[in-house]
Amino acid sequence: MPELEIIGVAQSNYVWAVRIAATEKGVPYKFTPLRPNTAEVGAIHPFSKIPVMRHGDFELFESKAIATYIDRTFDGPPLIPTDAKGAALTEQWISCVNTLIDPTCVRQYIVGYAFPGTPDGSPNRRAIDGALPNMQKQLPVLDKALANTGHLVGDKLTLADINLFPIAFYLQRFPESKALMQEQRHLTAFIERMLARPSVKETTPPPPPKKT
């Protein structure tokens, strides 16, 4: 079997999720650190976003598609339940996180700090403050979903947990979201358990360089 190649920036929540998935499956892979909007990424993703994947002559974009391909192609514990309801619930939470939580918590709030796009590089208060009312509604929903078993679906790790984890992890880094996260005890415990997994330890990206 050819070697799997995962391409992207280690800090991206979607790249990190795909790398955790591959590691949980025990799949060796080559990680090629490339930024979005580069020629090589653009040759695979029509909008030049990360992650992208190569496996022999098979190329793929979109993190959910990549993780699903890895799950189905390789041995190892299933990351998507094989029963219809478990699979649908996994799809439900991935879709919910990617279409509702990520746009607010990552693209608006975290990017408002990490890539503010302000003339002096200061946090983009308009984006940050604009995201907070939605975040106050969204985080308790995730907390409640994790309350019973500590997992979003069933009582085992699935791709739904893996997809959520990097976002939850990054939310602990910024002031308002850190305060909000402290109120979500199930979500906080989920992060701690995920951090203890070898797959997460192996793939945790280095912290961003300190701004001077």
Taking the least distance from each CB to ligand GSH, the nearer of 62 and 193 is: 62
Distance CA 7, CA 34 (A): 6
Our finding on whether 203 is near ligand GSH (CB under 6 A) is no
Q: Give the range of 7-15, 25-33, 124-132, 136-144 binding ligand GSH by CB under 6 A.
A: 7-15
Our finding on whether 62 is near ligand GSH (CB under 6 A) is yes
Q: Is the peptide bond before 51 cis (omega within 30 degrees of 0)?
A: yes
Strands of the chain, DSSP E: 4-8, 29-33, 52-55, 58-61
Our finding on whether 37 is near ligand GSH (CB under 6 A) is yes
Packed helices 63-73 and 13-25: angle between N→C axes, nearest 10 degrees: 0
Q: In the chain, how long is the greatest CA-to-CA distance?
A: 52
Our finding on whether 105 is near ligand GSH (CB under 6 A) is no
Taking the least distance from each CB to ligand GSH, the nearer of 143 and 169 is: 169
Distance CA 184, CA 171 (A): 12
Our finding on whether 14 is near ligand GSH (CB under 6 A) is yes
Taking the least distance from each CB to ligand GSH, the nearer of 23 and 143 is: 23
Our finding on whether 160 is near ligand GSH (CB under 6 A) is no
Our finding on whether 12 is near ligand GSH (CB under 6 A) is yes
**Nearest one of 134, 64, 129 to 103, comparing CA atoms:** 134
Taking the least distance from each CB to ligand GSH, the nearer of 62 and 176 is: 62
- Residue 48 CB neighbour total at 10 angstroms: 17
Q: How many residues bind ligand GSH (CB under 6 A)?
A: 12
Distance CA 61, CA 58 (A): 11
Binding site for ligand GSH (CB under 6 A): 12-14, 36-37, 49-51, 62-64, 98
